[in-house]
């Protein structure tokens, strides 16, 4: 019988993580490398990716590459896939983690530019990356795509409505791609609730105490990362099209 550890072993695999230099993306990158994968960290800021890649190499001994990529631009998405294949020779796992949720004073103040940028980063780019990656995976040894959405896509807040709309689209994309690229490629989504990241540094103190969360606190990125490893690995070989909430039990608007 294959052991649980063996099922989660990603040795010989290559994983790309967008938004991989900080927060949840950084924790996922670390966990994937810890499970044996070579990784590509992508974000708009190359210096941040290079620093994170150096930390991953030092702590895991795995190969870690940095690529500058604005996922809202399809040319950058194409280049990220091309760079990954050129440098590492394969692509087995894609984690669509990059996202943005810009603030606005009121709904009628949302500009066309803000709306378009929000949709581009949170939905348009992940669509392009997933299709490119899945096409390659299906033609080779198969693979796994993990989309990082938000619990807010299910209980949308007036304060982040364009973001919630885009992430709701990512849920639909997850299910559609799971069907389109089966059986060679599995596609699943994780919906985080409130997590302690750079974003929460701007939150008021009464939100940071986590009193509104049934588990009584905000999540830590390292508490979500193992699920991403699970969905990326053979341990979840019969799981596709799944949308999994990791939100401390929240059932109402945040």
Residues 6+ apart with CB under 8 A from 103: 159
Peptide bond into 183 cis (omega under 30): yes
The answer to whether the beta carbons of residues 182 and 198 sit under 8 Å apart is no
Interatomic CA distance for residues 21 and 213, integer angstroms: 27
What DSSP line would sit under 23-50, residue for residue?
Answer: HHHHHHHHHHHHTT-EEEEEES-HHHHH
Interatomic CA distance for residues 212 and 207, integer angstroms: 8
DSSP 219: B
Residues 6+ apart with CB under 8 A from 101: 118, 160, 163, 199
Number of Cβ within 10 Å of residue 165's Cβ equals 16
Interatomic CA distance for residues 195 and 12, integer angstroms: 31
Distances (CA, A) of 29 to 57, 163, 193, 223: 11, 23, 19, 13
Interatomic CA distance for residues 134 and 130, integer angstroms: 6
Task: Please tell me which residue in 104, 163, 181, 238 is annotated as part of the active site.
Answer: 163
The answer to whether the beta carbons of residues 170 and 192 sit under 8 Å apart is no
Mark whether 163 is an active-site residue: yes
Annotated active-site positions, please? Answer: 163
């Amino acid at each position: 019988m294959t052991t649980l550890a063996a099922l989660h072993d990603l040795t010989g695999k290559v994983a790309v993580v967008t938004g991989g230099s900080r927060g949840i993306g950084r924790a996922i990158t670390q966990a994937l490398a810890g499970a044996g994968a070579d990784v590509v960290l992508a974000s708009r800021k190359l210096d941040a990716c290079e620093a994170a890649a150096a930390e991953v190499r030092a702590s895991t001994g795995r190969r870690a590459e940095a690529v500058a990529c604005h996922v809202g631009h399809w040319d950058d998405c194409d280049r990220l896939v091309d760079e990954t294949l050129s440098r590492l020779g394969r692509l087995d796992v894609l984690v669509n983690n990059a996202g943005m949720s810009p603030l606005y004073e009121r709904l009628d103040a949302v500009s066309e530019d803000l709306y378009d940028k929000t949709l581009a980063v949170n939905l348009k780019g992940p669509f392009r990356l997933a299709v490119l990656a899945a096409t390659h995976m299906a033609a080779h040894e198969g693979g796994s795509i993990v989309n990082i959405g938000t619990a807010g896509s299910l209980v949308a807040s007036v304060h982040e409505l364009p973001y919630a709309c885009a992430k709701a689209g990512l849920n639909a994309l997850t299910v559609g791609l799971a069907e389109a690229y089966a059986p060679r490629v599995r596609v699943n989504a994780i919906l985080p609730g409130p997590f302690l990241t750079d974003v929460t540094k701007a939150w008021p103190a009464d939100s940071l105490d986590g009193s509104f969360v049934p588990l009584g606190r905000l999540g830590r990125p390292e508490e979500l990362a193992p699920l991403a490893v699970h969905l990326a690995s053979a341990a979840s070989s019969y799981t596709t099209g799944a949308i999994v909430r990791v939100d401390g039990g929240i059932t109402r608007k945040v």
